[in-house]
Homo-oligomer: A and B are copies of this chain.
Amino acid sequence: MYRKLPPMAALRAFEAAAQLVSFKAAAAQLHRTPSAISHQIRSLEDELGTVLFHRDAHGLRLTDAGREYYRDVHGVLEALGEATARARQGHGEDTVTISLFPSLAVRWLIPRLQAFRERWPDIEIELVSSVRRADFDGGVIDAAIRFGDGDWPGLRCDPLMIEERFPVCSPALTTGTRPLETPDDLAHAILLHNGAHPGEWDDWLAAAGIGHIAADRGPVFDASNEVLAAAANGMGVALGRTPLVESDLATGRLVEPFGQRLRSPGQYWLVAPEATADQPSLAALRAWLQEQPVSFASQSGLL
């Protein structure tokens, strides 16, 4: 039967463009370039022999035929999406269980997961946040985010991001009578310590060439989350790590008073057993993670 139907890519491009009345925005939504949308819609129009959009000086507008076709196409894609979701196995390949540190989960992954869910609504991400290293043997954990040198036998390791360490504190500490302005001012500040990273202050102070400040003063916290919360509350100065403090820096809860960063040896990796590393939903997550912008990259001096 010769029932000529447009390709899926063209229908989706048209649906998005009609919804947003913008090829550029449609491209962003579908993770394509505007050029791709333009090509698809052009070829759809050619194939139909019908103009779907007016492109005039005042931008884009649906034609009457385009509006009508949009209603139909939208309904059809909606129905197809539901049917396909129904046909899809529930808890199989569409659920990815990831193990990672609680701090990384809370301060880095979870804020981004919202966007991932919008991008891949059919992929369910389960987080197992733990300070213990993930055990892949049970078959429960699909992947983990680990910090290290990427040398874990039997696991596929894909690089995610580097780590930079530098003092962070509440913005309140950089103003007032005795503001933090140079690393030397740390002599008068309370240093907040992370029990999981003993000696981290020594490392940074040494790299910054500050030998005369005692690094062993101040309270010790059990986890990064606690150290950073204390710092945000103005209790003192913490040694922040880039992926973890990214959102706090972005929202202004924390500031970086000096600009001298110390690159950590090693970096973050997405690791998964070789055998299951290529399952589609994990591959989607990996690709998505890797295309995330590294907004926290050092703007200033790297030590």
Contacts and interface: CB of A to CB of B under 8 A. Distances in A.
A118 B1 contact: yes
A6 B8 contact: yes
Given A79-B75, A79-B79, A80-B72, A127 B87 contact: no
Interface in A2-32: 2-8, 11-12, 29-30
A84 B48 contact: yes
A76 B79 contact: yes
Interface string A67-78: 011001101110
Interface stretch (A89-97, A163-171, A184-192, A227-235): A89-97
A98 to B, nearest CB: 10
A84 B5 contact: yes
Question: Interface residues of A: mostly helix, strand, loop or mixed?
Answer: helix
A268 B296 CA distance: 72
A216 interface: no
A77 B125 CA distance: 26
A121 interface: yes
A126 B2 contact: yes
Contact of A7 (B4, B8, B47): B8
A86 B68 contact: yes
A118 B1 CA distance: 6
A46 to B, nearest CB: 8
A88 B50 contact: yes
B4 A120 contact: yes
A280 interface: yes
A302 interface: no
B73 A80 contact: yes
Nearest to A49: B89
Contact of A87 (B48, B75, B80, B106): B48
Contacts of A81: 3, 5
A79 B72 CA distance: 8
B92 A49 contact: yes
A174 B87 CA distance: 39
Contacts of A87: 48, 50, 52, 65, 68-69, 72
27 contacts: A1-B105, A1-B106, A1-B129, A2-B30, A2-B118, A2-B119, A2-B120, A3-B77, A3-B84, A3-B127, A4-B84, A5-B8, A5-B12, A5-B81, A6-B84, A47-B280, A48-B84, A48-B87, A49-B88, A49-B89, A49-B92, A50-B87, A50-B88, A69-B84, A69-B87, A72-B83, A76-B80
